[in-house]
Structure 1
Amino acid sequence: MSENELIDDCLFCKIIRGEIGSYTVFENDDVKAFLDISQVNEGHVLMVPKKHIVNFFDYTAEDAQRFLQYIPEIANAIKKSNPRIQAMNITSNNGPVAGQVVMHSHIHFIPRWEGDGIKFFTRNNADQYDEAKYQAVADAIKAQF
């Protein structure tokens, strides 16, 4: 990727350019993967495209093919690095309301093992839906393709 696909005031663009240090675990012309400074669990890695893209809402089909193909390779390398790792959360927060803090697309690889104490919360709202409401939501989404 060329320098003109990065921006000046982005933390991850600065890491990609080497202006800010990182503990890099994988890098090629398309992506850079490095330890997340927070280390939710040991081995927590971020993968960022070497093109400034704010989040998945801004990806083209070409961007997705180019950058997301590395997810399995990075996930497997992390898993193999520590025999304690039994599973992994692979997540991305898209937009501030969803918890995105750095406005440069990135994927979290968070290793998991039994008893690690991490809780990811979801909720089940199935009791608030009937056949008509499910169909209306599905139809609204389908209409956007």
Structure 2
Amino acid sequence: MTDTIFAKIVSGEIPARKIYENEHVIAIMDLSQVTKGHTLVITKKPVRNIFDYDEELASNVFAVIPRIAKAIKNHNPDVKGLNILMNNEAVASQTIFHSHIHLLPRYGENDGFGLKWEDHSNEYTPEELDRIKEKLIKSLEGLK
């Protein structure tokens, strides 16, 4: 984990366009700039992704997200909204296995970024949804 590009940015080995830093995170401009102002919030602790977070790390990381999001929106009057995206594991499009959260300012429907949502509600009976719900509740209880 210490050899990822993000670990090298956190350590100062590789320069980045840093916009924020505290003892838990560093926020930098993403090189890809999917949309203008695209920012990454990277954990200083070298964890792979959300599955490695404990409550303390989550609290420390997610506490800064609103502040950075507001700065992104306030710096440019053309920002109409913001997507907050975190890819966890390769199947979910994670390509750098050091935890990071994308803040993507949105300027309109054709700004270069999009998500596809499909409604699969007709594929589940109420009984199937209840079974899934119960399994999730038991799984949560096991994590206490």
Partners of 2:119 and 2:49 in 1: CA distance: 26
After the TM superposition, which segments of 4 or more aligned residues of structure 1 sit over 4 Å from their partners?
A: none
1:121 aligns with 2:116: yes
Residue identity opposite 2:8 in structure 1: K
Q: Secondary structure at the match of 2:79?
A: coil
Match of 1:39 in 2: 33
Q: State the aligned residue count.
A: 139
* CA drift at 1:8: 3.1
From 122, 130, 134, the equivalent of 2:129 is 134
Identity of aligned residues (%): 37
* CA drift at 1:119: 1.9
Partners of 1:93 and 1:26 in 2: CA distance: 21
Partners of 1:38 and 1:25 in 2: CA distance: 16
* CA drift at 1:117: 4.3
TM-score (norm 2): 0.92
Match of 1:14 in 2: 8
Alignment gaps of 5+ in structure 1? 1-6
1:77 aligns with 2:71: yes
From 134, 139, 144, the equivalent of 1:144 is 139
TM-score (norm 1): 0.92
1:27 aligns with 2:24: no
Partners of 1:110 and 1:8 in 2: CA distance: 26
